[in-house]
């Protein structure tokens, strides 16, 4: 855990993410169509697109009662604001918090973790403290903000709801805020804070892109009190989610049987992938049903070896692990062959 804050970045620059398939394909001189892209935590099977009425292209997007019902039934919470991906809230959190008249003195972010949280606060000039384990009460000060990614990306660490409820109370006593990013929570909803969302100091983010395999439509949600949702809406502006995306999502949220199949397929895939990697590389993997993270001392070399075989994983920002997204059943044979070949190469001196 860092005891001194990170220096605010002097020249805000974009971070690297997975999903840069065209760039990687060019770098390794292999046609895009020949790649197995496992560089993200997006489900390999997308929700099948329904037929869309032409009005969704023509009319301005409108959040209808039926959309709100479908979304709140799916998440089990009505206090929601639809946004164009949870990233759109993450990058505006400093502005949203400042609209509440708060001037945060410090922000705690998980490390390793999805770096956009750290970047948003550092770019806004707020001192950022990194933590490996949730900050203890004795480390917290008045007005602190704690960001928790639950489960964490890329480590998969899952915090218990009781632990988070205690942290929320402690922060409340300190006039602080708890922000929970549940982008990868869909396969473990029993751990979601949405079941007991209350209070003025808890903001929860959800992503619709990962579990539903619909990252391209850019959809997510902020769950918080009405005041926080109004502030967020004022910062982000109207028509956050486009009309076609609203229509697709409403179907996806209502399709409980598809969700149940998706959940069990993802769980089964994660088990298969974890076993495959552990068997060949002899290391324990961590993760969620949407990704599997394998620590390795030669991770950059491994990354290059996988790419040379047309498999594109995510090299973590710390360059000490590879993260693999799930593959479909029909892609398993190819991934298994490449894993066997790459692990063979790595055994050579
Ligand atoms: C932990 C975490 N939160 C949020 C996001 C943003 O997701 P989206 O904007 O697609 O909802 C990501 C994207 O990878 C992520 O890993």
Q: What's the confidence (pLDDT) of residue 345? A: 85
Q: Which atom of ligand 1 is nearest to the CA of 209?
A: 10
| Residue 17, number of CB atoms within 10 A of its CB | 14
- pLDDT at position 10 is 46
Structure tokens that stand for 337 in this block: 């062959």
| Ligand 1: centre distance to CA 329 (Å) | 25
How many angstroms separate the Cα of 187 from the Cα of each of 153, 263, 305? 14, 6, 31
| Ligand 1 atom at minimal distance to the Cα of residue 87 | 9
- Asked whether 18 lines ligand 1 (CB < 6 A), one says no
CA of 337 to the centre of ligand 1 (A): 30
Q: Is the peptide bond prior to 104 cis by the omega test (within 30 degrees of 0)?
A: no
- Which ligand 1 atom lies nearest to the CA of residue 114? 1
Tens of pLDDT, residues 243-271: 999 999 999 999 999 999 999 999 999 99
Task: Report pLDDT for 349.
Answer: 63
CATH class of 55-254: alpha beta
Nearest-CA residue for ligand 1 atom 16 is 114
Task: Say how far apart CA 3 and CA 82 lie, in whole Å.
Answer: 36
The residue among 122, 186, 179, 190 whose CA lies nearest residue 148 is 179
Q: What is the mean pLDDT of the chain?
A: 96
Residues of the chain with pLDDT under 50: 1-2, 10-11
21-45+257-347: CATH class: alpha beta
Residue with token string 């409980």: 256
- DSSP-H helix ranges across 196-331: 226-236, 243-254, 256-281, 299-308
For residue 93, the CA-to-ligand 1 centroid distance in Å is 14
pLDDT on residue 7: 54
Give residue 347's pLDDT.
Answer: 78
The secondary structure of residue 330, as a DSSP letter, is G
How are beta strands 36-37 and 128-131 bridged, if at all? unpaired
Instruction: Identify the H or E element spanning 339.
Output: helix 332-347
Which long-range contacts does 170-174 make (Cβ < 8 Å, 24+ apart)?
170/137, 170/140, 171/140, 171/144, 171/146, 171/201, 172/199, 172/201, 174/140, 174/141, 174/142, 174/143, 174/144
Q: Are 223 and 79 in contact (CB under 8 A)?
A: yes
**Test site for ligand 1: of 15, 17, 46, 114, most ligand atoms within 8 A of the Cβ:** 114
Helix (H, G, I), strand (E, B) or coil at 57: helix
Domain boundaries, the chain: 21-45+257-347, 55-254
Rounded distance from Cα 207 to ligand 1 centre (Å)? 6
114 lines ligand 1 (CB under 6 A): yes
């Amino acid at each position: 855990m860092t005891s001194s804050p990170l220096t605010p970045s002097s020249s805000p620059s974009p971070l690297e993410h997975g999903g840069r398939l065209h760039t990687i394909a060019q770098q390794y001189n292999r046609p895009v169509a020949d790649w197995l892209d496992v560089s993200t935590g997006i489900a390999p099977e997308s929700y099948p697109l329904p037929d869309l009425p032409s009005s969704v292209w023509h009319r301005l997007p409108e959040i209808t009662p039926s959309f709100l019902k479908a979304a709140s039934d799916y998440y089990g919470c009505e206090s929601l604001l639809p946004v164009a991906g949870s990233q759109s809230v993450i990058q505006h959190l400093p502005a949203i918090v400042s609209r509440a008249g708060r001037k945060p003195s410090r922000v705690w972010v998980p490390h390793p973790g999805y770096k956009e949280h750290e970047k948003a606060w550092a770019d806004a000039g707020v001192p950022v403290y990194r933590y490996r384990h949730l900050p203890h009460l004795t480390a917290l000060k008045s007005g602190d903000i704690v960001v928790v990614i639950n489960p964490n990306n890329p480590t998969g660490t899952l915090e218990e709801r009781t632990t988070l409820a205690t942290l929320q109370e402690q922060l409340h006593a300190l006039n602080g805020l708890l922000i929970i990013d549940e982008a990868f929570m869909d396969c473990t909803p029993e751990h979601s804070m949405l079941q007991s969302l209350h209070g003025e100091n808890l903001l929860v983010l959800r992503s619709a892109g990962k579990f539903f395999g619909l990252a391209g439509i850019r959809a997510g949600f902020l769950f918080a009190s009405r005041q926080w949702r109004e502030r967020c809406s004022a910062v982000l502006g109207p028509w956050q989610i486009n009309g076609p995306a609203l229509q697709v999502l409403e179907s996806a949220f209502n399709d409980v049987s598809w969700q149940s199949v998706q959940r069990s397929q993802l769980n089964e895939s994660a088990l298969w992938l974890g076993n495959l990697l552990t068997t060949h590389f002899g290391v324990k993997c961590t993760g969620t049903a949407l990704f599997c993270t394998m620590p390795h001392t030669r991770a950059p070399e491994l990354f290059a070896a996988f790419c040379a075989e047309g498999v594109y994983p995510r090299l973590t920002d710390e360059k000490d692990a590879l993260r693999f997204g799930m593959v479909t059943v029909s892609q398993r044979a190819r991934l298994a062959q490449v894993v066997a070949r790459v692990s063979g190469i790595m055994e050579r001196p």
